[in-house]
Structure 1
């Protein structure tokens, strides 16, 4: 049956991404062991056009519809390396998204164009040690000094933080409002990084960033002064939508490798897939996955059609990430003792998906947003 979301061009693109993932998959174990994705991979992805799917052709992008991005995000996730998908999402749908929407022409030429090529790697620097869900509590300050900003403060849990060439950074200005500023990531005077060691998603490097009297040209301001907080709040919808799409694909991958394992195992004289209790658990998992995937696809359709889908993006992110934790925990259980062994990929996935309910807005924050919109009839407006 013809899909309401995907056409023949999408499926041709899917086949090309699958081939790309198949080619690079042998490197995944090395990335996990090194806790780092080599920067050369971004150049390869840039050559394939994968880093600019949603961006205008004049900057090297593909100007493709959003479901082309859905295909890319899904197939990268089905490769089984969740850290890679996270790193891609931060670069191609978060850091560059701000510059594309509200950056000056100079910023687009300086950062967006080489980011689409894969010559530069971007990161977002919002979270601080005492300001995660409550970003209004940040203490990183940008003070205007002639033609520069002087920036002091720190950021933490920054994806791509060790390797990024630039950070789209949320700072407080002298008026107590918020600015978005591009800070180049070369280890200049006053900028230092500290690599963090995580429970999962080893391939995706994460860092603390420290700014001590770091000078940045005033032209690196993204958009209008004082509107940075609102820009960040709006961009979260795309972040949450891409997280939901990626997470659904990760669940699908986890179920498939679990079924592969069950088909090979025999207990009490018959295969694991012949036990009704286990079959029904798998049936329930696929049913919940399909319902969640359709919510994510509907939200992607709204996004493609210009709807500011705050409620739906929050719902999709909440449902997908919570579901991933429950289903993949059960997939590990269905592996038995093997599931507790690092030799089996399900153990890694079990660790990796936990962060989904934390980053990009915790599950608690998602519920609060949904409650505001459904219970209190709050309406959020776009600022881009």
Structure 2
């Protein structure tokens, strides 16, 4: 494991936060500081310090290995950063969506979309359905171990033939004595190789459509001896009928995105989450915060790329001048900064209204749509301002660009977002 982060000036590091409007180290962006209290600012500073010290020096090693060590999950559990919005009685911090937003933003500043996804998915998308729809017994069984980093949970909805068409899932759970028998495949499952349990959407009726979907918590058998950080051993069938294999991807290399197969897997009756045939509402309930989190992470990722670029053009010289002194550079930076602030304003206003309890499905869809495409474009232009250096691994921008490209696809494609927005506009 690498313990150093070699970089040229401005490469992948934290530049002066003032370059993107941050007020002081670890405070909220200028103009939105009113959203956050002092406890939020303190939390931001703590997370940023932890990410800088304990994660960023190892990012390239984990990207190359396409794996984040299990010890990192346990260390995260000790900090409690990913558990901030969960109730204290379940091992959380008793925080709110603002604390969760801060975690999402600061982990995005790790510079690795795969690392951010690996560490966030268990608490951001996989465990919330258990918290919201599970019985007290189910919550006590499956939530605290994930918050402590002792177990990894994965949300298993997407299938090879369905994608955004969640009503078309084919993984079937048939009633048997004492529970269900599950057969089918799930794909693009974040954390799917290392997960100890899957919050899984299954079809529990013969009919298609929304009404025949249920959710089951599908647990894996005990890990083989010495398998903790061996993807091949962790993914192999342990006699439970479940196998998982990593998917090679353009970006998010540090995240073990998996194809998961269920072959005659027995799931006990008490693993049913929520109502039988009532799983579609669980899916819909999860989408709102997942998409808003993606918007928050994209804005933070743009901030990081912009800060790095401002630092780079300020010290890089060509034709006897700093790159920053060329009018074309200043115009490019002005356009990038403007686009980031527009994305931030839409995202933060949506966050504010969401925290206030308003119905913001349309606004969340807008924020998700706008930020993901903007991030790809902004990071591409930041890479361009680095010239040939931007194309190298050392700067980290080629990774940022690859990671950002998932945004317009994951969590609901651009096309789905446009359809949702259009329908809610009455079109």
Interval of TM-score (by shorter of Structure 1 and Structure 2): over 0.9
Distance in 1, Cα, partners of 2:177 & 2:200: 20
Distance in 1, Cα, partners of 2:312 & 2:242: 48
Q: 2:204 aligns with which of 173, 188, 205?
A: 173
Distance in 1, Cα, partners of 2:142 & 2:310: 44
Q: CA deviation at 1:342?
A: 2.4
Matched, 1:88 2:119: yes
Distance in 1, Cα, partners of 2:113 & 2:107: 8
* Counterpart secondary structure, 1:80: coil
Matched, 1:316 2:367: yes
* Counterpart secondary structure, 2:180: strand
Matched, 1:15 2:45: yes
Alignment of 1:360-371 (within 5 A): 360-371=411-422
* Counterpart secondary structure, 1:361: coil
Q: CA deviation at 1:344?
A: 2.2
* Counterpart secondary structure, 1:194: strand
Counterpart of 2:294 in structure 1 is 243
Distance in 1, Cα, partners of 2:332 & 2:380: 12
Q: CA deviation at 1:175?
A: 4.7
Work out the number of aligned pairs and report it.
376
Give RMSD over aligned pairs: 1.3
Alignment of 1:1-384 (within 5 A): 3-24=33-54, 25-176=56-207, 177-186=212-221, 187-376=238-427
Distance in 2, Cα, partners of 1:294 & 1:3: 12
Distance in 2, Cα, partners of 1:66 & 1:214: 36
Distance in 1, Cα, partners of 2:261 & 2:339: 42
* Counterpart secondary structure, 1:62: coil
Counterpart of 2:17 in structure 1 is none
Cα deviation, 1:215-274, whole Å, max 9, x if unaligned, reads: 011111111111111210121011000000011000000111112221121112111101
User: Which range is displaced more, 82-91 or 105-114?
Assistant: 82-91
Distance in 2, Cα, partners of 1:180 & 1:50: 27
Contact 1:89 1:239 in 2 (8 A): no
Distance in 2, Cα, partners of 1:40 & 1:208: 24
Distance in 2, Cα, partners of 1:51 & 1:75: 11
Unpaired runs of 5+ residues, structure 1, are 377-384
Counterpart of 1:379 in structure 2 is none
Q: TM-score, normalised by structure 2?
A: 0.86
